[in-house]
Amino acid sequence: MTTKRYVLPVELTGWKTKDDTGEVHFSWDYDSGREKMLNLYDKGKRRQWDAQIRIDWSETIDIDNPLGTEDHFVPIWGSPMFDKLDAKGLGELKLHLASWQFSQFLHGEQGALICASKIVQNVPDMDSKYYAATQVMDEARHVEVYSTYLNKLGIAYPINPNLRSILDDVLNDSRWDMTYLGMQVLIEGLALAAFGMIRNMTGNKLARDLTAYVMQDEARHVAFGRNALRDYYPNLTEAERQEREEFCAEACIAMRDRFLANEVWSNLGLDTKECVQWVNESESQIAFRSLLFTRIVPILKDIGLFGKTMRDTFEKMGVLGFAEVDIDQIMDEDDQLASEIDKARVADVDKTVALGALEDL
Ligand SMILES: [Fe+2]
Ligand SMILES: [Fe+2]
């Protein structure tokens, strides 16, 4: 509730300027935010955490199997290339697959950090600027988390060309909604599904905990993108919506194909062509790549980008069925799970402190 009274109405003094990266909006209306945006901002402030304190980095990692997964999770499992691997080769492959996967998360998080800061600048409303500022801090923390984790693995991969190309498109578009659509909906939607699979299948406590905590933040980011775009997209013309659907269709195919892991096969001296062909055709890998779209499909439907182009693309990709997923429910479950892990952590810390106090007597 504002008690400031401007000597001129704010609508008459708005200021939009430009820098090399796009529009810069100033807002003089500091008080009249939308309730749902301000709630996200409040939640963002309350839920800040310190990665060095909340995560127990002393947890051990088996370097030959960092995620503690069964062999059938290796994408070329069952192939002649897999059968040729000895124990050392399999250990090396599992390490490289984990480091490749988490390297892409790391680079994607830096992309999110830069996009969130761009949103602070581009978005016209103060409530969204408030919220996006909390996201800038969240994304910096995620970069820190994945970078620290990769230091423990000791190997990192450069950014995948498909991910880089989507980031390039998003960052070079000066329209604010394209930043949200590319980053908050597509890149983060896909990352969330991948995080969810890792969280649920890993046998390693460190990998599970850090993934669950990052997911708790990401749920707010996706909620923000959905809220903003759901308000905005009904006002676009058919041609404007079509342009966005075409961008999404192309990006979804590129993102699916980045999971063929070309870089890992070539780096380890395996036959890249044979491995890619196997991963491309293997039934379990096709199912895995489909699951990456459990979040994106219902969100695009929810924000009103679900015309013929999008439906046909998802039909061809075999993921149209995810349109019926209850996205709010799975986001709530993500939040719940992270809270439970955190409760167990706090209880552990309390127990250790109590033991220490007894020893001091
Ligand atoms: Fe993030
Ligand atoms: Fe995010």
Specify the fold of 35-340.
Answer: Ribonucleotide Reductase, subunit A (1.10.620)
Cβ neighbors of 328 (< 8 A, separation 6 or more) are: none
What's the pLDDT at 330? 82
In the reported structure, the alpha carbon of residue 176 is separated from the centroid of ligand 1 by a whole-number distance in angstroms of: 19
What's the pLDDT at 21? 67
pLDDT at 151 over 70: yes
Q: Which ligand is nearest to the CA of 183?
A: 2
Ion ligand 1: residues, CB < 5 A: 109, 112, 139, 142
pLDDT at 158 over 80: yes
Percent of the chain surpassing pLDDT 70: 96
Taking Cα atoms as reference points, which of 359, 287, 294, 352 lies closest to residue 321? 294
pLDDT at 64 over 90: yes
Strand (E) or helix (H) holding 26? strand 22-26
SS3 270: coil
Decide if 245 contacts 307 (C-beta within 8 A): yes
Percent of the chain surpassing pLDDT 90: 55
- Can you tell me the mean pLDDT for 120-130? 89
What's the pLDDT at 211? 94
What's the pLDDT at 103? 96
Q: Answer left, alpha or beta for residue 197, where phi above 0 means left and psi between -120 and 50 means alpha.
A: alpha
Q: Which ligand is nearest to the CA of 140?
A: 1
For residue 106, CA distances in Å to 149, 159, 198, 267, 287 come to 10, 9, 15, 19, 25
What's the pLDDT at 1? 58
pLDDT band at 358 (very low <50, low <70, confident <90, very high): low
Structure tokens at 69: 């997964």
User: Is the sign of the CA dihedral 254, 259, 264, 266 positive or negative?
Assistant: negative
